[in-house]
Amino acid sequence: MNKKNKIMWIIKEWKPYRLQLYLLLFLTLLSSIVTVIYPLLFKHLLETLEIILGKPRTLDPLAPILPIIWMLITVGCVRLIASFYPAFRSMMNVLFEYVLRNRYFKYILEKDYRFFLQFRTGDLVMRLTNDIQDFPKIGWFICSGIFRAFDSGIKIIFCVIVMFFLCWRLTLVVLLPLPLMIGIFYIIANKLHDRFQKNQEAVSEIGNQLEMTFSGIKIIKSYVCEEKYKRFFALSLEKRYHTEMNLVKINSLMQLIYEYIDYFAMISIILFGGYLVVQGKISTGTFYAFYTYLNMLIYPMLDLPQLFISGKQAFVCINRLDEIKDFPIQRYETPEPTVRQPITELRSIRFENVSFAYPDRNVQILNQLTFEIHKGEKLLILGKSGVGKSTILALITGILIPQSGEIYINDFPMREIDLESFRKLIGYVPQEPSLFSGTIESNVYFGLEDKEFEPQNIYYHQILEAVQINKEIAQFGEKDQTRIGYKGLTLSGGQKQRLAIARALYKKPSLLILDDITASIDAHKEELLWASVSAMFTNLTGFVVSHRLSALRYVDQVLLLENGSITAFGNHSSLINDNFSYQDFIQHHYDKINKFDSF
């Protein structure tokens, strides 16, 4: 994104807040005007006092001074009102931080699997936190940064006009360092842009390293890899140390420029201004006003170049946010305008010549798949590891999109249906159960809105009993209010898997998708689980990936995949008698097939 586009980006962010924008503009102008008037009033007061002291005492010596004092009081009251605008700016900073985080978090949730292959968790966390909050990041820059520069620009214009009016020669002496200062800051700003971008990348790397370490702490400890991860973290930390030290050095150079410009300007006005006072070319009041205006000018004159520097840093963060937004999403292409068909019940799912390949691989995962499942039927998908079983499940949910062919839901092409309404009918249990840091209860009703959940209802307990976890929950100290930690850290593999199944069943799905969920469940509990599911959900449509032959008792159809193609589809009894590919697979992978043993 170029500079012009970034400016348009900022303007677009301000459009919903026009009233606040106008208020900030008014307060900024008001603050600048009363600030500039103050030295003029004091100049007038000093000159009046000189006149009074130089004349014989009158009956009322305060009479000429009283109007000036009342003006000072009035201006002071107005200035007090205008002084609230920095607090208002701070509130706007926080508002923009909130709005940006919320919006870009929604963008992330809309992305497909390819996005999460490219962007790591720690990096995304840093982009939504560190890149937005505080100086000189986006939230600060698009409000406080811009209005500070605007405030500084107004003060400089007003002050310079008044100073030229008072004494143009002294004004030229004071403003002499300005072109040099702007040139130096421009050079520094270009260097700072690159260093700041490298530092933000280093910060994201630290976030990635922490996320990987804490999420995989069990594996790290079980493999005794603490020292290895200490080295990984130390390398990332060293990289961040060097990038931050580079920023400190360049910021120190800027601070040095600040101090010496201020120092030389003060010396100039004292020497040259004092000379003019001695020569009688300016009054003491004018000298005081000039000295005051110089104090007012120094930091605004430095604030304007600072805008370029903080802008460079904020623009880096804007680029990092827009990398998230602009990452392409793989969607079903539909002719416009199209009214998407809502799915309120599931009658059938049909694959018709469906093919798929992952973009980062050169192998065709699925090739010309054609099959159909009707309401209430359960399909068991078999095949070797990596053959595409989980890919079929992801295609059904719409997480992946076929490269060719069509998937039909109730005879409607998936590209024409309302995907959200369809997903509400699905209970999905992935191969690796994903639980959230909360209570057992909140994880069970995760798929429903809070208002839809009835705490401690009969169905809730039936589901816990169906998945064979109710007795184990009763042994926890806080029962189902027990907090399970990050990714279910406090639960065993089997408990996490059964809790994920309970979550899928609690939403009363029409379509249940189980991706090799019995790997962490012993054979006895699996038998009880299948029996309970069959009894409670008689019309439930199911897609099941399993490595246990016992699942054959509870499914209606079997689909065998080999090399991305269907080599067998039908019920077990017919396939085991008539399909040689199916017979070979069963004999190769199962022992004692007539007893439905697991492997």
Residue type, 277: V
pLDDT at residue 82 in the model: 66
Residue 491 resides in a domain? yes
CB count within 10 Å of CB 382 equals 24
349 and 316, same structural domain?
A: no
Could you list the residue range(s) of the whole structural domain that residue 503 is in? 434-508
State the residue for tokens 């150079």.
253
322 and 204, same structural domain?
A: yes
pLDDT at residue 559 in the model: 94
How distant, in Å, are the alpha carbons of 71, 94, 434 from that of 195? 50, 26, 38
413 and 321, same structural domain?
A: no
pLDDT at residue 596 in the model: 44
Q: Is the pLDDT of residue 567 over 80?
A: yes
Residue 54 resides in a domain? no
519 and 504, same structural domain?
A: no
Token couple for 381: 């998908």
Q: Is 595 exposed, middle or buried (0-12, 13-18, 19+ CB in 10 A)?
A: exposed
176 and 150, same structural domain?
A: yes
Helices 85-110, 284-326: inter-axial angle, 10-degree rounding: 10
Average pLDDT in the chain: 80
Higher confidence at residue 358 or residue 518?
A: 358
pLDDT at residue 380 in the model: 92
Q: Is the pLDDT of residue 481 over 80?
A: yes
For 503-530, the pLDDT digits (tens) are: 888 888 999 998 887 666 777 777 777 7
288 and 177, same structural domain?
A: yes
233 and 141, same structural domain?
A: yes
Residue 148 resides in a domain? yes
CATH code of the domain in which 280 resides:
1.20.1560.10
Q: Could you say which of 301, 326, 351 is where a domain stops?
A: 326
Find the range with the poorest average confidence among 98-112, 171-185, 464-478. Answer: 171-185
Q: Is the pLDDT of residue 117 over 60?
A: yes
210 and 118, same structural domain?
A: yes
Judge if the upstream peptide bond of residue 337 is cis by omega within 30 degrees of 0.
Answer: yes
Q: Is the pLDDT of residue 486 over 90?
A: no
pLDDT at residue 597 in the model: 43
How distant, in Å, are the alpha carbons of 79, 467, 471, 532 from that of 480? 59, 14, 11, 21
Please state the rounded mean pLDDT for residues 27-46: 76
- Ramachandran region of residue 329, left (φ > 0), alpha (ψ -120 to 50) or beta? beta
Q: Could you say which of 456, 485, 508 is where a domain stops?
A: 508
Residue 59 resides in a domain? no
d(CA 591, CA 478): 43
448 and 404, same structural domain?
A: no
559 and 495, same structural domain?
A: no
Question: Which residues, in sequence order, are bridge partners of residue 409?
Answer: 349, 412
For 410-439, the pLDDT digits (tens) are: 999 988 888 888 988 998 888 887 787 788
110 and 218, same structural domain?
A: yes
User: Domain total for the chain?
Assistant: 3
pTM: 0.68
| Positive/negative CA dihedral, 64, 67, 69, 71 | negative
Please state the rounded mean pLDDT for residues 101-109: 89
565 and 493, same structural domain?
A: no
Residue 83 resides in a domain? no
Q: How confident is the model at residue 56 (pLDDT cuts 50, 70, 90)?
A: low
Residue 220 resides in a domain? yes
CATH code of the domain in which 598 resides:
3.40.50.300
Nearest CA among 567, 544, 556 for reference residue 390 = 544
Nearest CA among 457, 455, 435 for reference residue 446 = 435
